[in-house]
């Protein structure tokens, strides 16, 4: 059964690495359609491909699907991230009907304006207080990378993914502190520029919450969470998660803010 949404945001697919859950994303895209799709960065992991490049059929099929959608009436917009930052040089141009933009402004059904950006450009804006907080940021980035490596190993062994580090991440207070600061910085940045909210990816943590007056939304990733953000036809934001076990899409309850 195909659900058609007003808008769909997908990021952090990391095509070109074993960590990418390309088959799941293809199945997800057969169940979900949207009038407009934002590809919000780290779609192809050109960074990792510099050292080791894989590109199996499933990965090609994901790209083919996006271009096919763009050719057949879906508005597809590509906002590159830090792992596909080379594509930022194509900003202002189109690839097979997909415009490339450094950032985008999304107008919601209710008229609110959201800044759409990958999120890596926010990292330098995050106020780094103590050494412990700086450690948290570094530890978090390392754990995201660890997830990718464990996942690669397990898929080589033919086992499904176990998000070991997501448990560690949740327990690591300094990493939680980094996430909280990232989310707050994102909302502050968008608010200061006159936006009603922000949609980003980058930290691999799906979330929808209000921070002050500003809407913060993160579409997650297709390495660990297999998640996407949608705007319904009536303008409600929601996170969808693909559950490979049941081949089903579940809606994720609004993420509770992390403990301060
Ligand atoms: Mn990123």
Give me the half-sphere count of Cα atoms (radius 13 Å) on the Cβ side of residue 178. Answer: 27
Measure the CA–CA gap between 204 and 178, rounded to whole angstroms: 13
Helices in the chain by DSSP H: which ranges? Answer: 22-31, 46-49, 57-71, 131-156, 164-171, 173-192
Give how many domains the chain has, as a whole number.
Answer: 1
Q: Look at residue 18 and tell me if it is in a domain.
A: yes
* DSSP at 123: G
Strands 98-99 and 94-95: antiparallel
Interval between CA 121 and ligand 1 midpoint (Å) = 9
- Decide if 207 is inside a domain: yes
- Position 162 scores a pLDDT of 56
10-residue mean pLDDT profile of the chain (260 residues): values are 90 95 96 97 93 92 97 97 96 96 97 97 77 63 69 66 58 77 95 98 95 97 95 96 87 55
Ligand 1 midpoint to CA 57 (Å):
23
Instruction: Specify if 31 maps to a domain.
Output: yes
Q: Output the CA 11–ligand 1 centroid distance in Å.
A: 8
Both tokens assigned to 49? 């491909």
Model confidence, pTM: 0.85
Residue 146 lies in a domain: yes
Residues with CB under 5 A from ligand 1 (ion): 42, 81-82, 202
User: For residue 1, what pLDDT is reported?
Assistant: 61
Query: Domain limits at 74?
Result: 3-252
Instruction: Measure 1 CA to ligand 1 centroid, in angstroms.
Output: 32
Domain assignment of residue 259, yes or no: no
Rounded to the nearest angstrom, the distance between the alpha carbon of 49 and the centre of ligand 1 is 15
Q: Which residues, other chains included, contact 162 with Cβ-Cβ below 8 Å and sequence gap of 6+?
A: 150, 154
Q: How far is the centre of ligand 1, averaged over its atoms, from the C-alpha of 12 (Å)? A: 6
Domain annotation covers residue 257: no
Domain assignment present for residue 99? The answer is: yes
Give the model's pLDDT for residue 106: 98
pLDDT tens for 185-195 read 999 999 999 99
- In the reported structure, the alpha carbon of residue 43 is separated from the centroid of ligand 1 by a whole-number distance in angstroms of 9
Written as six digits, the tokens of 68 are: 């096919």
The CATH number of the domain holding residue 198 is: 3.60.21.10
8 A C-beta contact, residue 258 and residue 180: yes
Question: For the chain, what's the residue count?
Answer: 260
CA distance 172 to 140: 9
- What is the Å distance from ligand 1's center to 4 Cα? 27
pLDDT tens digits, one per residue of 26-50: 999 999 999 999 999 999 999 989 8
Q: Quote the pLDDT of residue 259.
A: 35
127 C-alpha to ligand 1 centroid (Å) = 19
**Is residue 131 situated within a structural domain?**
yes
54 three-state secondary structure = coil
Residue 259 CA, ligand 1 centroid: distance in Å: 24
Distance in Å, CA 41 to ligand 1 centroid: 7
Residue 256 has a pLDDT of 46
- Please enumerate in sequence order all residues whose Cβ is within 8 A of that of 218, keeping only pairs 6 or more positions apart, or say none: 119, 183, 199, 200, 201, 202, 203, 205, 206, 207, 208, 229
């Amino acid at each position: 059964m195909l659900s058609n949404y007003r808008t769909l945001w997908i990021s952090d697919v990391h095509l070109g690495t074993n960590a990418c859950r390309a088959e799941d994303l293809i199945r997800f895209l057969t169940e979900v359609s949207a009038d407009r799709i934002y590809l919000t960065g780290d779609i192809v992991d050109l960074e990792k491909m510099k050292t080791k490049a894989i590109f199996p059929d499933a990965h090609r099929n994901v790209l083919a699907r996006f271009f096919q959608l763009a050719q057949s009436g879906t508005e597809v917009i590509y906002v590159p991230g830090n792992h596909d930052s080379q594509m930022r040089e194509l900003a202002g141009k189109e690839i097979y009907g997909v415009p490339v933009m450094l950032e985008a402004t999304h107008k919601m059904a209710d008229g609110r304006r959201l800044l759409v950006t990958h999120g890596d450009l926010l990292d330098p804006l995050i106020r780094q207080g103590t050494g412990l907080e700086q450690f948290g940021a570094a530890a978090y980035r390392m754990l995201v990378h660890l997830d990718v490596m464990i996942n690669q190993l397990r898929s080589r062994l033919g086992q499904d993914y176990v998000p070991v580090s997501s448990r560690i991440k949740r327990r690591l207070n300094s990493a939680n502190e980094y996430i909280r600061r990232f989310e707050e910085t994102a909302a502050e940045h968008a608010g200061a520029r006159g936006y009603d909210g922000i949609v980003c990816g980058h930290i691999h943590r799906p979330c929808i919450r209000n921070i002050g007056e500003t809407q913060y939304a993160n579409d997650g990733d297709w390495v660990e969470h297999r998640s996407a953000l949608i705007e319904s036809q009536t303008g409600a934001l929601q996170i969808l998660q693909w559950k490979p076990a049941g081949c089903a899409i579940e809606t994720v309850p609004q993420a509770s803010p992390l403990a301060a």
